[in-house]
Amino acid sequence: MRFFVPFLTLLFSFSSIAQELSGTELLEKAIAFHDPNRNWETFIADLKIIMKTPKSADRLSLIHMDLSRELFILTVEKENDLYTYELEKDSCTFSLNGSLTISDSDKKRLRLNCERGKMMKNYYTYLYGLPMKLKDPGTIINQEVEKRTFKEKQYLVLKVNYTKEVGEDTWYFYFDPHTYAMEVYQFFHDESKNDGEYILLEGLENIHEIKMPKIRAWYYNKDDKYLGTDVLNFIPDME
């Protein structure tokens, strides 16, 4: 009986935390863990990301972000191709193997266009800016904090939707109930179909006092099929 009582105490304590916190309060605690000095808004850094996927060569991405200048430079190397996007405010350029002159066939093969460049900018700044990016305009925070067990661990879960002009997916963010570290997130296009993906986060890379997930592993929600893993490294020498 003496072992059962502490378990009940822990269970009720976990439930109490979820009931006491609003969605906004949970988000603030998570941001305080990941970005305690509020450095994200003026973030400047160079990142190296290696993407590993089944039955495909590794993809190396070098990223330079300067959020105060609205500058984003992405250089991708995979197999025999090396292409770069450079976006600063409303301007956009891209090159292939150092040349701005690119054949239509190569543009099509590598999907090189400014629309995709902007999509990649939004993709990387969103995922590596979490959970801070959940304060962006158009984000709808569900104020009811859920408690869930995922992969045999208990979490405080924040549900997020977006206005139509921002996005239509439903997202869930899983935070450690003690540290408020973000350890899992998942999204659904249509939750009733159990589509979309979940992402497991492992380790932290401290970049200018921001704790970013070092390893992200991607899986389908519907069948737990593994999709790929990306590994983040900070490159201080490039600044």
Please tell me the distance from the alpha carbon of residue 198 to that of residue 52, in angstroms, as a whole number.
16
Residue 1 in this model has a pLDDT that exceeds 60: no
Residue 2 in this model has a pLDDT that exceeds 70: no
Q: In this predicted structure, what is the pLDDT of residue 18?
A: 56
Partners of residue 78 on adjacent β-strands: 81
Q: In this predicted structure, what is the pLDDT of residue 13?
A: 52
Please tell me the distance from the alpha carbon of residue 114 to that of residue 3, in angstroms, as a whole number.
61
Quick one: pLDDT band at residue 9, thresholds 50, 70, 90?
Answer: low
Q: In this predicted structure, what is the pLDDT of residue 239?
A: 45
Q: In this predicted structure, what is the pLDDT of residue 112?
A: 97
Give the predicted TM-score (pTM) of the model.
0.89
Q: In this predicted structure, what is the pLDDT of residue 14?
A: 54
Distances (CA, A) of 48 to 32, 38, 198: 25, 22, 22
pLDDT in tens, 183-221: 999 999 999 999 999 999 999 999 999 999 999 999 999
- The per-residue pLDDT of the chain, averaged, comes to 92
pLDDT in tens, 81-103: 999 999 999 999 999 999 999 99
Q: In this predicted structure, what is the pLDDT of residue 50?
A: 97
| 73 contacts 83 by C-beta, under 8 angstroms | no
Residue 119 in this model has a pLDDT that exceeds 60: yes
Q: In this predicted structure, what is the pLDDT of residue 236?
A: 84
The secondary structure of 58-87 as a DSSP string is -EEEEEEEETTTTEEEEEEEETTEEEEEEE
Q: In this predicted structure, what is the pLDDT of residue 52?
A: 96
pLDDT in tens, 16-52: 555 689 999 999 999 999 999 999 999 999 999 999 9
Cβ-Cβ contacts under 8 Å for 216 (sequence gap 6 or more): 127, 199, 200, 201, 202, 229, 230, 232
